[in-house]
Structure 1
Amino acid sequence: MTTTGGAERGTHGRATTGASTCAEAHRPTAVVPPPTRRHHVEQQPWLAQVPAERLVAATLRGMEPEGWTSVHDVHWPGRPLANIDHLVVGPGGVVVVHTESWAGDLVVTDGEVRVGEQVRTHQVARASEAAAAVTALLAPRHRTAVRAALCLGDRSDAAVSAAGATVVGRTALPGHLRGLPPRLTPAEVTGLVQLLGVRLGGTQSPQMLTTAALQPATRAARRRAVRARADVATPTVMHPEAGRRPASRARGLLLRALVVVTTAGAGALAFTAPIPGF
């Protein structure tokens, strides 16, 4: 049985009676969890992730002579506690790159991404969500130039599309960027790098705009008025005969027929009666 150091010193430093020895034997021993080891296990994935991000950053810097400019560890618009690993802008557009370090064979089947025995579709979709957030910051003419990529930092897998993004190994990432169709001019690349650097590299994460914020006040008020009118119940107009019972309708029709017959008979008598003097 393992005891603490204080308990050992107390046992060897003085004589104990049989009763005290029995009490010591039945005293529960507190088990103290090792916080240092648990902390190390929790931090291990993050510590393993940092070298992969550095490798990807170095790979992207090697693309600068070909017109690609990259920034790293910037804000995720609308998510103050999240970040975007890499953002690279070049002739092929704006590419939001998320880095992962996974072990196992990469398999994509019916939109599901598996690496080894793990399903990784959700992580790939996060890269697509980050690209959508960056897209909302750009002018309409540049929004179609944004792409999403999930880069496997220590691998050489060929590019494959899944969950709205491209999964590609780090060594194959330059070829993927070169293969994108031309989309931006050098002047547009410079302007977008400056814009995104200011918007995403500040001290606070930029807020996401919604379509309601882009509408003029008069248009929004008009839509609210239309919705209010739609909520008001429209009165139903009923025909006067709709609420009458069948017997009442029959009596009404009979009275109308009698009036018509009486009127017609009176008219006939008037035409056939002799006129005095003729």
Structure 2
Amino acid sequence: MNAEEHRARNSRAGASAADMARSLGAVDRRRRLAIGGGIIAAVLVLAWVLSESLQAGIGIALVAVAVVILVRPGGRRSDAAKWRKGAVGERSTARVLRPLERRGYVVLHDRGLGRETDVANIDHLVIGPTGVVVVDSKNWHRNTMIRHRRGELLVGRTRGAKVVAGTALERRRVSTVLTMELGEQLGGPVQAHAVLAVHGARLPYWRRPEIEGIPLLRARGARRWITSLPTVYDAAAVEQLAAVAARRFPPYAPPERPLPDGFRA
């Protein structure tokens, strides 16, 4: 891989999340302008009618302008901020994974699942001597609590199974596609692993959280975890897997319309 290809591949990290943040931010700005303009016009007319003075109406309307400008943005702005934060996390994880490329691994960032109907993406797909690994970046608030309760892992107030649902789907999809394409040549099914690379939140030191076989690791520890897996492929097999993965999981293109509130990032 030449230097230009290397830069292009790594520049993909967090690209779709950043695009979504910009899209939601633009929607929010238009919405705020429309609402603000309506409020100002209504206040101006009402003040004019009640005070029977155009000057008083303009003065009150100017106060309304200041209020609209100073009021914190609503939910759409929060959604945009969430996606921006996700993009930052993906770029940070990409930096953590980059040294793997000097050890015979191929790292693909921000890839689609290969189906037009999909609205999910693979944050990072690592292919190397220790196999195929889906790496899902999570940039959570530093106060997010990760704990066990009644035999179940909770992330904040969210059940662990829900947290990893998308990652588990991606793992199955990657395994299925690569097995269909290369299973016979490689002598058996292609088993895909998955890991959550967590930024921000404090993970328990005494016990590594794991949900449905997917560990939650501090992002900086994801690289070591990947290289600690058993070696299963030689350089030729890695090259085959990487070529098929790059073709079957192309760079992700987000849906044209904003995703519903609460969709994972």
Deviation at 1:149, TM superposition (A): 1.3
The TM-score normalised by the length of structure 1 is 0.58
2:239 maps to 190
Matched position secondary structure for 1:80: coil
Q: Which has more radius of gyration?
A: 1
Q: How many residues align?
A: 186
Task: Choose the corresponding residue for 1:39, options 62, 76, 100.
Answer: 76
Q: Cα deviation per residue 1:196-230 (whole Å; 9 max; x = unaligned)?
A: 0011116889xxxxxxxxxxxxxxxxxxxxxxxxx
Distance 1:116 1:204 in 2: 30
Deviation at 1:91, TM superposition (A): 1.3
Distance 1:85 1:122 in 2: 17
Distance 2:110 2:75 in 1: 27
Deviation at 1:188, TM superposition (A): 1.1
1:8 maps to 47
Distance 1:126 1:101 in 2: 15
Residue pair 2:114, 2:249 contacting (<8 A) in 1 also = yes
C-alpha change, 1:151 and 1:202, in structure 2 (3 Å) is closer
Matched position secondary structure for 1:184: coil
C-alpha change, 1:125 and 1:111, in structure 2 (3 Å) is farther
1:158-197 to structure 2, matched below 5 A, reads 159-197=208-246
Matched position secondary structure for 1:57: helix
2:93 maps to 56
Task: Choose the corresponding residue for 2:198, options 148, 152, 156.
Answer: 152
Distance 2:113 2:163 in 1: 15
2:173 maps to 133
Residue pair 1:152, 1:167 contacting (<8 A) in 2 also = yes
C-alpha change, 1:84 and 1:142, in structure 2 (3 Å) is farther
Deviation at 1:80, TM superposition (A): 2.1
Q: Cα deviation per residue 1:90-112 (whole Å; 9 max; x = unaligned)?
A: 11100011122224233346763
C-alpha change, 1:88 and 1:108, in structure 2 (3 Å) is farther
Distance 2:209 2:189 in 1: 22
Residue pair 2:126, 2:132 contacting (<8 A) in 1 also = yes
C-alpha change, 1:60 and 1:117, in structure 2 (3 Å) is same
Residue pair 2:195, 2:215 contacting (<8 A) in 1 also = yes
2:33 maps to none
Distance 1:150 1:132 in 2: 15
C-alpha change, 1:156 and 1:57, in structure 2 (3 Å) is farther
Deviation at 1:53, TM superposition (A): 0.8
C-alpha change, 1:144 and 1:199, in structure 2 (3 Å) is closer
Identity %: 23
C-alpha change, 1:80 and 1:117, in structure 2 (3 Å) is closer
Residue pair 1:156, 1:170 contacting (<8 A) in 2 also = no
- Higher RCO (C-alpha 8 Å, min separation 6): 2
Deviation at 1:60, TM superposition (A): 1.1
Residue pair 2:104, 2:235 contacting (<8 A) in 1 also = yes
Matched position secondary structure for 1:136: helix
In structure 2, list runs of 5 or more residues that go unmatched.
1-39, 55-67, 255-265
1:243 maps to none
Residue pair 2:171, 2:192 contacting (<8 A) in 1 also = yes
Deviation at 1:168, TM superposition (A): 1.3
Deviation at 1:115, TM superposition (A): 2.4
Distance 2:98 2:188 in 1: 23
The TM-score normalised by the length of structure 2 is 0.61
Indicate whether 1:99 and 2:131 are aligned. Answer: no
Deviation at 1:48, TM superposition (A): 1.6
Residue pair 2:210, 2:216 contacting (<8 A) in 1 also = yes
